[in-house]
Chains A and B, each alone.
Chain A
Amino acid sequence: MESSQDKPTTPTKPGRLAASAALATLNEDYYRDLANAKEEGRPVVWITSMAPIEMVSAFDGIAFLPENYAALCSSRKVAAEFCQAGEARGYSQDLCSYALCTFGSIFENRGPFGDEAPRAPDILLATEGACATHPKWWEALQRHYNCPLFIVDAAYTVDSETLPEHHKAYFAAQLRELASFMEEHTKRKFDMDKLREVVALSDRASELWDEIDDFRKAIPTPISQIDVFTCLFPLVTLKGTKEPVAFYEQLRDEVKERVDNGIGFVPNERFRLIWDLFPIYHNMRLLNYFAEFGAAFVTDFYGNAFSGRLDASDPFGSLAERYLSFFMRSAQWGKGELYKERARKYHVDGIVFHSNRCCRCFTAEQPDVGNILRDELGLPSLTFEANMVDPRGYDDAQVKARIEAFIEMLEARKYPKEAGMK
């Protein structure tokens, strides 16, 4: 990858990823499977992100992520109405807009394509591994659908560099309990060998994802942040099945080829940035606005949360480890170190914080992470408020003005001569 710097860069913008076509097929297949699940006798399990999706795949179930669904609603421009419908039922506008949007959709029985809300879940599976609000959201879903709910408690351990044994034991005990719970509600037998296969497939998808992420270090960086967010779908929703593995192999090859040929998605890459954290689903194009100034996002702290290495020889133990120690759960000193390391490895010029108004869990520490990066690396940051799903109150002109000012500042820092000549 180091050599890519010496090769002549192609000044033209690369076309669409060839893998996009495969992704579209995966998407269609997934929604068809979901629609046919009842007829095919496959359980539909609504899960939170960071819930052990492998346990769903091990029962040949179909995982449905309302978070993913709300993102779709947002990109289809129906999120504002759905969020309002959620509010009309007494849910606060300050709540997670993934939840609010889903509530509105299911209470009104409306979908993103002028259709109906998603089919009811057979089983609800949540964890507080990502945030403490997930179980509350799932309890509300449970009251609405009156179907079985299992919550995997994922206690926090912030100061320990290695995962304490009793944390692992508590989580693993719940996985065993979850296996019996799934047996009871799916009328299928739990098969440890099947779980091993699933765990191996999940691990392989994560390994490929990490490889792809690693290629983003190249100068110029090969793929756009929009591509990264879009290509996450199989990792989030289909992990533990064969499809993501084939897809990410194809994507990895394509990304590698770009890197080998010195192709960057931003022609004449001038600035390299970190995106923190959630996408703005109603305005994904904002990410491309940065590209107009030659600024590329070369890494982010969202996608990687969905990748986690596993060990098929110890399914429960390694699932416990993976879901308890993913990086977003570490204490701030850990996060600070991680962000610093990423900034150095990816040759980063600045960090952009999307201060996601509806998410305290992953937004509360952004100011201090920015302070750490400023104080210890001299890295500048841009912070702007938005709401990931709900477009109401979003001021595009204002955000763009902030971006322009930020880029100007980066320009003066990185290219003082050119900036002076303007």
Chain B
Amino acid sequence: MVSEFYEAYSNRHQLAEGWKRAGRKIFGYFCNYTPEELIYSVGIIPVRIRGSAENIDLADAHLPTFCCSYMRGALDQALKGRYSYLDGVVFPKTCDMTRALYDVWRRNIKLPYYWFLPVPGKSTDEAVEFFTHELSLFKESLEEYSKQQISHESLKQAISVYNESRSLVGEVYKQGLSDNHPLSGSQVFGILLAGLVMPKEEHNAMLRKLLDGLPDPNTSRANGTRLLVAGNNFENIELLQTVEECGGDAVIDDLDMGTRYYSSAVDENSEPLRALAERYLRKTPCPCMHPAEPRLERMLELARSYRVKGVILVIQKYCDTHLYERPWIESRLKEEGLPVLAVEHSDTGWSGGKFRTMVQAFIEMLE
């Protein structure tokens, strides 16, 4: 049952083509700062745009090779026609690369809908007010595109589906609190990835079924050395499988498509646009936000409650915002008694053998 999630992620393009044939509209989006609820509320399926482990060739005519493999790979996939089912793409301004990619994508791939969403870099009251205004412009443009009004009710409905997703994934994460939890880190990773590329109600239905069938967390498999995996985003499930083969287990994460995406519910009792603005600006921040401390604090809190023995930091090569925080995050974690294994990761050209050696040594050291 649990393998179905990662299978869904692996087959994401075929799945999307199926929905497309069934008459659904599909929007691609970048980053966990896109308020998908708005897209979902007009019946459009939002799917996260990802790169690939495939060689990058077509994108090189448009982006320098010293840009991150995620953005280059995503553009390359699009230029190769892998995303031909998309009706539109939404780019939130979080880093310099998403901003640049908006331009490059738009120039080279013609689509009926594009939206650039200015996301503030702070979470003050003024920033929330600003973002609420931006969300109202985004809402209007979606209404115009879809030729339907986004009512209070339809938006609240979308918010409640997304909150349910957050709470169900929260249940999955909770399993990891136990020493003999039933799901491995790589299995959970498959669940997280599937949620990025499926309609949330379908993902929720799969999650409910999975959770109903889970054995008692205290009578399950014996687990390896408890670890927290942190960083930006990657889709390389092998990475976590290698950790498990080496006797480790990522019981919790601080990842862009992990806890930073699936945590923090939207307040269903206040005005929906403002509630969305607050949730997105005040969730656990990614390094594109200022200040940086809340992310570290959250990481330490998770490390404590999940009783992890060490942290694996996986950072996308050329990801400036993460690279600036890396020395500080590493030293603060170590000060708190958490050894860190930091690796730079590229979606393409992943060297599994080298990583295995590093992880083996790291886990031996922890034990």
Contacts and interface: CB of A to CB of B under 8 A. Distances in A.
A198 B316 CA distance: 43
A360 B97 contact: yes
Among A169, A331, A364, A372, which residue has the most Cβ atoms of chain B within 10 A?
Answer: A364
B328 A360 contact: no
A158 B99 contact: yes
B126 A155 contact: no
Contacts of B93: 155-156
Interface stretch (B56-64, B151-159, B218-226, B245-253): B56-64
Interface in A133-170: 133, 135-137, 139-140, 143, 151, 153, 155-159, 166-167, 169-170
Interface stretch (A2-10, A88-96, A243-251): A88-96
Interface string A389-400: 000000000000
Contacts of B288: 132
Interface stretch (B101-109, B229-237, B300-308): B101-109
A338 interface: no
B140 interface: no
A128 interface: yes
B263 interface: no
B290 interface: yes
B330 A90 contact: yes
B366 to A, nearest CB: 21
Nearest to A387: B66
A381 interface: no
A183 B291 CA distance: 22
Given A89-B327, A367-B62, A94 B120 contact: no
A357 interface: yes
B20 interface: no
A273 B317 CA distance: 34
Interface string B57-99: 0000111101110000000000000000000000001111101
Given A360-B96, A365-B103, A92 B323 contact: yes
Given A140-B328, A170-B127, A366-B64, A135 B121 contact: yes
A363 B318 CA distance: 13
A367 B103 contact: no
Contacts of B68: 360
A361 interface: yes
B119 interface: yes
Contact of A361 (B96, B101, B130): B96
A376 B148 CA distance: 39
Contacts of A128: 121
Contacts of B317: 94
Contact of A139 (B100, B108, B129, B292): B292
Contact of B102 (A331, A360, A363): A331
Contacts of A357: 64, 66
A173 interface: yes
A382 to B, nearest CB: 15
B287 interface: yes
B99 to A, nearest CB: 6
A133 B328 contact: no
Nearest to A372: B107
B133 interface: yes
A97 interface: no
Contacts of A331: 102-103, 116
Given A364-B64, A366-B64, A132 B320 contact: yes
B318 A332 contact: no
B297 interface: no
A283 B77 CA distance: 38
Contacts of B327: 89-91, 140
B324 A132 contact: no
Nearest to A137: B324
Given A156-B116, A166-B133, A360-B100, A139 B107 contact: no
A142 to B, nearest CB: 9
Contacts of A173: 126
A96 B95 CA distance: 14
Interface in A22-77: none
B323 A368 contact: no
Given A132-B288, A135-B290, A363-B64, A170 B324 contact: no
A364 B102 contact: no
Nearest to B320: A133
A221 interface: no
A94 B344 CA distance: 11
B10 interface: no
Nearest to B342: A90
A355 interface: yes
Interface in B314-341: 317-318, 320-321, 323-328, 330-331
Contacts of B61: 367, 371
B215 interface: no
A210 to B, nearest CB: 26
A174 interface: yes
A332 B287 contact: no
A166 B132 CA distance: 10
B317 to A, nearest CB: 7
B94 to A, nearest CB: 8
Contacts of A91: 323-324, 326-327
Contacts of B134: 155, 166
Interface in A310-354: 331-333, 335
Contacts of B208: none
Contacts of A95: 320, 323-324
A179 B159 CA distance: 39
A132 B121 contact: yes
B324 A133 contact: yes
Contacts of A120: none
Given A155-B130, A360-B96, A332 B106 contact: yes
Interface in B129-172: 129-130, 133-134
A117 interface: no
9 contacts: A91-B323, A92-B326, A156-B118, A332-B107, A333-B103, A355-B64, A364-B67, A368-B103, A368-B108
Given A91-B324, A174-B126, A357-B64, 8 more contacts: A92-B326, A131-B96, A135-B290, A151-B121, A167-B118, A358-B66, A364-B67, A368-B107
Leading 8 A-B pairs by shortest Cβ distance: A90-B327, A332-B103, A136-B324, A364-B100, A361-B96, A155-B118, A170-B130, A92-B323
